[in-house]
Amino acid sequence: MRVVSLCPSLTELVFDLGCGDRVVGRTRYCVRPEGRVEAVPTLGGTKNPKVEAILELAPDLVLLNREENRAEDAAALEAAGLNCRSFLPKTVDDTAAMIREVGELLGVPKAGEAMAMELERRADRARELASEGPAIRWAYLIWRKPWMAAGGDTFVDALLTLPGGVNVFADHPDRYPAITADVLRAADPDRIWLSSEPFPFTEHHVDELTEATGLPETRFQLVDGQLLSWHGSRTLDGVEYAARLIREVREPGPTAARPGKD
């Protein structure tokens, strides 16, 4: 079987299911697993894949994500007769179902089932944490100029809600609302997480937001965006990472160091 994957988390999933040797094409953003994926040719980006180059590869299966990839590119590939499967998991349960389906598509259902069951086991442990302490009100920023946050009905929202978090922007009509510093200050979250992707937040932006909002700098924390937004094999670690972030807010360490700072 020849597979083209146009979503980074799906590319990683195929490798982690033991089928990396079947991947004949990827996007330039498909960078995991390091040390292995580099041998696979790149075919453009997630938003601008090289459709003609994909057709020349004649893959048996093209994997896409409905949020990462454009509908028109999927339509063009399907119109050319390629077998395309698009996913959009928004919860851990959705992700487990996707892992099982991808395992079936690749002909490795046992590997898919084992991974999905382990994800469900870790998710159950994270849910137990939700009852062990107060709910933690949080905001998760993904972009600057304008500031943008993860709203409800998003994978990030589901992952950080699972262990006892409450998204202060969950009820916003937009899935990824643009906000201002004043809006963030008024929301008054217990913790504001700044993601490493798609915008690569740094300590400089912690300082910028601290000044702009007037909120204590200890409420801001840089976090791993791949663990919290890649749905697939990385979600196994992502569930535990989300639980740890919630636990750290409930049980702060003895120092007043900025959260996430080495």
Rounded (5°) CA angle 197-23-63: 60
Q: What is the pLDDT, as a whole number, of residue 257?
A: 42
| 69 and 131 together in one domain | no
Euclidean distance between CA atoms 248 and 48, whole angstroms = 39
Q: What is the mean predicted confidence (pLDDT) over 167-191?
A: 98
Euclidean distance between CA atoms 66 and 83, whole angstroms = 15
Q: What is the mean predicted confidence (pLDDT) over 177-182?
A: 98
Q: What is the pLDDT, as a whole number, of residue 20?
A: 98
| 83 and 123 together in one domain | no
Residue 228 belongs to a domain = yes
Residue 194 has pLDDT above 50, yes or no: yes
Residue 261 belongs to a domain = no
Residue 259 belongs to a domain = no
pLDDT in tens, 201-236: 999 999 999 999 999 999 999 999 999 999 999 999
Residue 12 belongs to a domain = yes
H or E element: which one contains 35?
none
pLDDT in tens, 88-117: 999 999 999 999 999 999 999 999 999 999
Q: What is the pLDDT, as a whole number, of residue 254?
A: 57
| 80 and 135 together in one domain | no
41, 66, 88 - which closes a domain: 88
Residue 260 has pLDDT above 80, yes or no: no
Residue 104 belongs to a domain = no
Would you place residue 49 in the very low, low, confident or very high pLDDT band (cuts 50, 70, 90)? very high
> SS3 helix, strand, coil % of the chain, rounded to 5?
45, 15, 35
Q: What is the pLDDT, as a whole number, of residue 196?
A: 98
Residue 150 has pLDDT above 50, yes or no: yes
* 182-214: b (≥16 Cβ within 10 Å) or e: ebbeebebbbbbbbbeebebeeebbebbbeebe
Residue given tokens 């094999």 in the structure block: 233
| 28 and 68 together in one domain | yes
| 72 and 159 together in one domain | no
Q: What is the pLDDT, as a whole number, of residue 84?
A: 98
| 28 and 148 together in one domain | no
List the end-to-end C-alpha distance of the chain, in Å, as a whole number: 44
Would you place residue 262 in the very low, low, confident or very high pLDDT band (cuts 50, 70, 90)? very low
Would you place residue 256 in the very low, low, confident or very high pLDDT band (cuts 50, 70, 90)? very low
| 62 and 156 together in one domain | no
Would you place residue 170 in the very low, low, confident or very high pLDDT band (cuts 50, 70, 90)? very high
| 81 and 126 together in one domain | no
Share of the chain above pLDDT 70, in %: 96
- Mean of the per-residue pLDDT values for the chain? 96
Residue 50 belongs to a domain = yes
* CB contact at 8 A, 43 and 27: yes
Euclidean distance between CA atoms 71 and 65, whole angstroms = 9
| 84 and 128 together in one domain | no
| 82 and 201 together in one domain | no
What is the domain-level CATH number for residue 241?
A: 3.40.50.1980
Euclidean distance between CA atoms 171 and 177, whole angstroms = 10
239: which strand partners? none
Residue 98 belongs to a domain = no
| 200 and 124 together in one domain | yes
Q: What is the mean predicted confidence (pLDDT) over 161-166?
A: 98
Domain extent, residue 235, equals 119-250
Q: What is the pLDDT, as a whole number, of residue 11?
A: 98
Number of domains in the chain: 2
| 139 and 246 together in one domain | yes
Q: What is the pLDDT, as a whole number, of residue 252?
A: 83
Residue 255 belongs to a domain = no
